[in-house]
Amino acid sequence: MGRKRERESAAGLLPRMEAIPGKRATLYRYHPVGGKPINLGHDRLQACRKVLDILGQAPETGRLRWVWESYKESRRFLRLAEATRADYEQCWKAIDPVLGNMQISDITAPIVARYVRIERSDAPVRANREKALLSNLFAHGIDLGVCTQNPAKHVRPNEEEARTEAPDPALLAKFLTWVSQQTPQRQIIGMAAEYASLAGNRKVEFLPLTWPQVDRKAGEIRTIRAKQRGKKREQIVEVVSISPAMEKLLERLETIRPGRECLYVFPTRDGNAYTDRGFKTLWQRIMLAAIEAKVVTKDARFTFHDLRAYYATQHKVIKGKLPDLHNNVETTARVYDRSKVVRRDAV
C-alpha cells in the first residue's frame, strides 16, 4: 500500500513535484522524467522557485543577476583565489545596479562598451576588472544555455598605465622603523612588509607561512608559488635562501610574542593566519597613519604589491639579474623591474 496522500501539503505545487509530510516539516521533491528525485527543501515557495529555475520558467531566469548567482556556485568560481573572489564580489556591486536586471542574451558589445567607457568613466581601472567579470559571466551563461556569445571579448579594455616606481630604500627603511615602534600587531604587519621586500613573495604565498616551512639549519624558506594553473597548481615550490637580513627578521618575529607558541610566522591577534581582506584592511590603516605622522607623503605612498617590485629591482641591482618570479621572464621584466639606471659593458 502506498504512502497516504495529504492534499494540504501538496497544495500549490507544480507538475511533477511531490510533498512528503514529516514530523517537523514537509519535504518537497521534484521528479524529472527518467531521473532520480531532486530534493527541494522544506520551504514550499523556495521549492517552487527551484523547479521554475530547473524548467527555465522563473522570472529571473536568464537575467545577468541570475547568471551571477549561478556563477558563484560554480566550480570555476570556487577554484579562484580568495582575493580574486572577493574582488569579483566588489565588481558585481558596481555592475548589478546597471546591468543586473537585463537578460544576458540582450546585452551586446555596444552595451558593454558603454558601461566600460561611460558608466564607469570615473574608475577606468576598476571598469577593466568589471569587464573581466562580465566576460566570465557570459562564458558561464553560454554553459547554462541562456546566451550564445561573449560580447565582452569584442570590447577593448581601458588603457592602464602600469606603476613605474618602486619604494625608495631610504623611505622604506624609515617606514619600517616607524612601524616597529607601533602596537605588536602593527609590528607584525611591518615585518610582513619587510619579508616581502627581502623575499619577493606574494601575500597569498606567505600569509599562511608556518614555522615548519622555515629551515634555519638549511638556511631555506619553502613556500608554494601562487597563480599556477592546471597540473602546476600548488606544485611549484619556491625556496628562498635566508640572508643575514632575513635571519635578523626571523629572530624578531620569534620574539614579538614572548612566552607564546604560534604555528604561523605572521599570526593574527588570536594566533591564526591573516585572511587577505583582514591583512589588506590593517595595511591600509597603517599606511594612513604613516601619512598622518608624516613618515610617508601622499605622493610617495606605495602599495604592498610594490614591495615585490622593490625586491625584483634590488635583486637586479645587487645580483646583476632579475629573480625567478614568473614562468615567463618577460613578465617579471615588464611588471616588476623598475630600475632607473641600466648598466652594460662596452665592447
Segment 55-73 shows an average pLDDT of 81
3-class secondary structure for 279-336? HHHHHHHHHHHHHHCCCCCCCCCCCCCHHHHHHHHHHHHHHCCCCCCCCCHHHHHHHC
- The pLDDT-based confidence of 234 (bands split at 50, 70, 90) is low
Q: To 10 degrees, what angle do helices 276-292 and 169-179 make?
A: 100
- In terms of C-beta density within 10 A (0-12 exposed, 13-18 middle, 19 or more buried), how is residue 334 classed? exposed
Q: Which grid coordinates are listed for 27?
A: 519535504
pLDDT digits 0-9 by tens, 121-138: 999 999 999 999 999 999
Q: d(Cα 215, Cα 222) in Å, to the nearest integer?
A: 8
Could you tell me which residue, 52 or 142, shows the higher pLDDT? 142
pLDDT value at 50 more than 90: no
Whole-number pLDDT of residue 231: 55
Mean per-residue pLDDT of the chain: 85
- All structural domains of the chain, each given as residue ranges with its CATH number in brackets, are 7-55 (no CATH), 64-154 (1.10.150.130), 169-213+257-335 (no CATH)
Segment 129-157 shows an average pLDDT of 93
pLDDT value at 228 more than 90: no
Q: Which grid coordinates are listed for 135?
A: 566576460
pLDDT digits 0-9 by tens, 315-337: 888 888 888 887 777 878 887 88
- The pLDDT-based confidence of 49 (bands split at 50, 70, 90) is confident
Rama region for 261: left / alpha / beta (φ>0; ψ in -120 to 50; rest)? beta
Percentage of the residues of the chain whose pLDDT score is greater than 70: 90
Say which range, 54-68, 104-118, 220-234, has the weakest mean pLDDT.
Answer: 220-234
pLDDT value at 257 more than 80: no
Q: What is the pTM of this model?
A: 0.68
Segment 201-230 shows an average pLDDT of 85
Segment 263-287 shows an average pLDDT of 90
- In terms of C-beta density within 10 A (0-12 exposed, 13-18 middle, 19 or more buried), how is residue 188 classed? buried
Side by side, the strands of the sheet bearing 214-215 are 214-215, 220-224, 237-241
Segment 188-217 shows an average pLDDT of 91
DSSP state of 273: B
pLDDT value at 101 more than 80: yes
Could you tell me which residue, 164 or 284, shows the higher pLDDT? 284
Whole-number pLDDT of residue 1: 38
Whole-number pLDDT of residue 2: 46
